[in-house]
Amino acid sequence: MQSIGEGIRVDAQPEPEPAPALETGPREPLIVILGPTASGKTALGIDLARQFSGEIISADSRQIYREMDIGTAKPTPAERAAIPHHLLDLISPAATFGLAQYQRAAYAAISDLHGRDVLPFLVGGTGQYITAVIEGWGIPEVPPHTPLRTELEDFAAEHGARALHDRLRELDPAAADRIDYRNVRRVVRALEVCLVTGTPITVLQRKQPPPYRILQIGLTMPRETLYQRIDARVDRMIADGLLDEVRRLLDAGYSWDLPSMSGVGYAQWKPYIEGIAPLDDVITTIKNDTHAFARRQYTWFNGHDTGLRWFDITQIDAISGLVHEWLTAGKE
């Protein structure tokens, strides 16, 4: 039987450039403000940036899109005028922006602020963005190889997911140990990266922590209180013209199957616009789906809790005091 990948021509890949050497000497500060949606991250970030001569770097995978302002709860023009915000409005709703691209952009923004003696605040609720930055994830930048993917998927369909996983174990035992054989998509990706580059994905994914001194602040509150804040914000979005924003995006040619249009606050409008569901049902669905999204955010943050300090948004004075002490300690 032909081996997986044997019949596919994969052009030789250039040797990856070595990762830049970590800086030596005193580590520059980075303050991270994270938490579930509607927990008050934007307001806190602006308040602390004002107090401590900082600027904000967004860590939100939805606010990277231009023309999508209301449904993504993007900082308002007034908020952005009060404190400079970075990594907002980066791409069209039709474009893609991978995790590696975000990581590079975030590091560049942090370096720029440090170079201007400005304190960077990494603020957002996209756990993968934040963790990739503060842990220094190695992210394989291997574009999809469609013929190879098709062969791997066909192999799994014919011989079973476990047989495909066995092939991964031959090439990258460490990846096989951490990827469930039933997750065919991840198994295919790991095999794809290995076959295209000649290097196991686990080698390419090794972490190199950045040279920052990091303070992580998490915002939390009782679950029912958070749900009430979410519901109130959805009502404000509706009043501010969220439906019109969705219609403008559709009129501009952005389709429902785009990743940008599949997010909470946008995808739920499809049955209403197609005349299938009433407005009240759409609003209820947006609220409930946002509740579920907040729960998933908590799951991520709790699973990647490395020195994270949790506060309620009402504890502004305590948070401010912590930041002051932390910054002072870093200068000693």
Question: Can you count the helices (H) and strands (E) in the chain?
Answer: 14, 6
- Predicted structure pTM score: 0.83
Q: What average pLDDT is seen over the chain?
A: 90
Token pair listed for 238: 């509706």
- By three-state DSSP, how is residue 56 classified? strand
Reported as a pLDDT band with limits 50, 70 and 90, residue 6 is low
**Lowest mean per-residue pLDDT among 160-174, 180-194, 198-212:** 198-212
The torsion angles phi and psi of 330, rounded to 5 degrees, stand at -70, -15
Task: Give the per-residue pLDDT at 198.
Answer: 86
Task: Give the per-residue pLDDT at 8.
Answer: 46
Across the range 311-320, mean pLDDT stands at 93
Reported as a pLDDT band with limits 50, 70 and 90, residue 16 is very low
What is the rounded CA–CA span in Å between residue 311 and residue 286?
27
Across the range 197-222, mean pLDDT stands at 90
Query: For the chain, what percent of residues have pLDDT higher than 70?
Result: 92
Task: Give the per-residue pLDDT at 26.
Answer: 67
User: Residue 21: which region, alpha, beta or left (left: phi > 0; alpha: psi -120 to 50)?
Assistant: beta
- For the cut 60, the answer to whether the pLDDT of residue 253 exceeds it is yes
Question: Is 162 within 8 Å of 181 (Cβ atoms)?
Answer: yes
For the stretch 128-143, pLDDT in tens is 999 999 999 888 777 7
Helix (H) or strand (E) holding 236: helix 223-240
For the stretch 141-168, pLDDT in tens is 777 788 999 999 999 999 999 999 999 9
What is the CB neighbour count within 10 angstroms for residue 71? 26
- For the cut 70, the answer to whether the pLDDT of residue 275 exceeds it is yes
More confident residue, 110 or 142: 110
Helix (H) or strand (E) holding 94: none
For the stretch 39-92, pLDDT in tens is 999 999 999 999 999 999 999 999 999 999 999 999 999 999 999 999 999 999
Question: Is 293 within 8 Å of 286 (Cβ atoms)?
Answer: no
Comparing CA positions, the residue from 65, 85, 62, 87 lying closest to residue 75 is: 85
Task: Give the per-residue pLDDT at 5.
Answer: 58
What is the CB neighbour count within 10 angstroms for residue 89? 16
149 by Cβ neighbours in 10 Å (0-12 / 13-18 / 19+) ranks as middle
Question: In sequence order, what DSSP letters do the residues of 266-316 get, joined into one string?
Answer: TGGGHHHHTTSS-HHHHHHHHHHHHHHHHHHHHHHHHHT-SS-EEEETT-H
Across the range 110-115, mean pLDDT stands at 98
